[in-house]
């Protein structure tokens, strides 16, 4: 007999920890290879952790609601055979992915220079001097918000052994404006608590006898936190433009049956719109960026987030990686795959990571246009309105006349800290130009 250490697997480039939400197996139960043992939740999606071996579950090391770091042993499985524990442990840890392209010496020098400047501007927090455990995510949030170690240690944790979880520090930050502690400021910078108007202070709510009180589920709490944080972080500005998509509607109606027969995929309007957005982002890379304090990060890849409504009413944003490199068929397959897996709850944590710009289709619910909230740390989000038949003036060499056209609104929300009206308006106009210039004779 041998013992196998089941570890929390690597779930994405930026995922450092997960919360255990449910154990699917009890101690003493038999487990088959690739059978799910427990369910976990990251800050984006829920997923299952399968066993890599067949055997009997002999020990559970963490309980429901415990926060576990990637690579930590979460359970012990007793297996048949003579394989040593150390060898099995080595087998259970997936090798780190190797980057396809090594950074150039110039890029390394630039990164080093940026790091040195950042070190001079902000004194790092020495977490090693504390006896308490803080997850990488909590440390990153504390550093970004300027929370000192002394201040961090005053936060009451809800995790195992009083550990500070992500929700604990986010709740602390939201209510921080009413507390005496403020962020340390650097030269020529005012404390955020002096400039930011708190919108999270508790307001008394009267409850009548017939009212029903329902606690938010975990995902809704996370969404609420993200939305409030985004509004408090970015200076939201909107630009709107009306687009004539008559040619697109006619082309899709003509080819959708043949497309599905040949490719085995339904052809919706979404991949056509995504294709235009990806092209516009190549033209205006100033929208394909992120903001990190006083620094702007220009993203190399164009990864389009696709906001999707879940059956339970919540929202999730899976990401189409390298969207600018996909043709229409590839885009349709990516859109359908992510959409279907989102509805079925089968998304992997990595499916929601790395987005550089987001598109949301408010027209699905009949909305003509909307003012979406930016998906941090991105700087823009585009809302697609409903396509409607409307009377419009049509210009021809013989003169103008009134005709019925298929039109829709594009609503562009962008971060006015780094994106001015000229750039934000030009970008959404370029998307509209690509859609209106759609070739009705193109092959898919």
Q: Which residues are catalytic?
A: 416, 420
d(CA 351, CA 423): 29
- Cα atoms in the 13 Å half-sphere on the side-chain side of 417: 20
Strand partners, 40: 20, 47
Query: Are 250 and 342 in contact, with CB atoms under 8 Å apart?
Result: no
Query: Are 18 and 41 in contact, with CB atoms under 8 Å apart?
Result: yes
- Which residues, at least 6 apart from 361, have a Cβ–Cβ distance to it below 8 Å? 270, 273, 307, 383, 384
Query: Are 243 and 407 in contact, with CB atoms under 8 Å apart?
Result: yes
d(CA 159, CA 317): 27
Per-residue 3-state assignment (H helix, E strand, C coil) for the chain: CEEEEEECCCCCCCCCEEEEEEECCCCCCEECCCCEEEEEECCCCEEEEECCCCEEEEEECCCCCCEEECCCEEEEEEECCCCCHHHHHHHHCCCCCCCCCCCCHHHHHHHHHHHHHHHHHCCCCCHHHCCCCCCHHHHHHHHHCCCCHHHHCCCCCCCHHHCCCHHHHHHHHHCHHHCCCCCCCCCCCCCHHHHCCCCCCCCCCCCCCCCCCCCCCHHHHHHHHHHHHHHHHCCEEEEEEEEECHHHHHHHHHHHHHHHHHHCCCCCCHHHHHHHHHHHHHHCHHHCEEEECCEEEECCCCCEEECEECCCCCEECCEECCHHHCCHHHHHHHHHHHHHHHHCCCCCHHHHCCCCEEEECHHHHCCCCCCCCCCCCCCEEEEECCCEEEEEEEEECCEEEEEEEEEEEEEEEEECCCCCHHHHHHHHHHHHHHHHCCCCCCCC
Phi, psi torsion values for 93, nearest 5 degrees: -95, 115
Residue 235 tokens, joined: 């200076």
């Amino acid at each position: 007999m041998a013992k196998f250490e089941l570890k929390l697997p690597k779930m994405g480039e930026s995922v450092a920890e997960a919360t255990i939400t449910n154990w699917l197996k009890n101690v003493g139960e038999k487990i088959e290879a690739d059978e799910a043992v427990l369910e976990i939740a990251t800050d984006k999606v829920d997923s299952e952790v399968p066993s890599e071996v067949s055997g009997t579950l002999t020990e559970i090391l963490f309980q429901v609601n415990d926060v576990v770091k990637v690579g930590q042993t979460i359970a012990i499985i007793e297996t048949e055979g003579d394989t040593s524990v150390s060898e099995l442990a080595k087998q259970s840890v997936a090798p780190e992915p190797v980057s396809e392209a090594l950074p150039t010496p110039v890029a390394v020098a630039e990164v080093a220079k940026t790091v040195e400047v950042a070190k001079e501007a902000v004194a790092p927090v020495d977490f090693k001097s504390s006896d308490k455990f803080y997850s990488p995510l909590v440390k990153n949030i504390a550093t970004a918000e300027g929370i000192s170690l002394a201040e961090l240690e005053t936060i009451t944790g809800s995790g195992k052994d009083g550990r500070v979880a992500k929700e604990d520090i986010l709740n602390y930050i939201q209510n921080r404006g009413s507390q005496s502690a403020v962020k340390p400021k650097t030269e020529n910078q005012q404390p955020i608590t002096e400039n930011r108007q708190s919108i999270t202070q508790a307001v008394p709510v009267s409850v009548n006898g017939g009212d029903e009180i329902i606690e938010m589920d975990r995902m809704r709490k996370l969404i609420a936190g993200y939305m409030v944080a985004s509004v408090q972080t970015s200076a939201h500005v909107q630009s709107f433009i009306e687009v004539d998509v008559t040619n697109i509607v006619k082309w899709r109606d003509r080819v959708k049956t043949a497309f599905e027969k040949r490719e085995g995929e339904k052809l919706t309007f979404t991949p056509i719109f995504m294709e235009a957005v990806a092209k516009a982002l190549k033209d205006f890379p100033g929208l394909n960026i992120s903001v990190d304090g006083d620094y702007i990060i220009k993203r190399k890849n164009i990864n389009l987030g696709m906001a999707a409504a879940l059956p339970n009413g919540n929202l999730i944003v899976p990401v189409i990686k390298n969207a600018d490199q996909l043709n229409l068929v590839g885009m349709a397959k990516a859109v359908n795959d992510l959409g279907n897996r989102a509805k079925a709850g089968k998304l992997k944590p990595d499916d929601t990571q790395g987005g550089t710009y987001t598109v949301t289709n408010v027209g699905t619910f009949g909305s003509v246009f909307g003012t979406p909230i930016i998906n941090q740390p991105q700087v823009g989000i585009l809302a697609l309105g409903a396509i409607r038949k409307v009377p419009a003036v049509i210009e021809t060499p013989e003169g103008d006349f009134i005709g019925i056209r298929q039109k829709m609104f594009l609503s562009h929300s962008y971060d006015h800290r780094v994106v001015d009206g000229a750039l934000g308006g030009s970008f959404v106009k370029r998307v509209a130009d690509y859609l209106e210039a759609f070739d009705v004779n193109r092959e898919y």
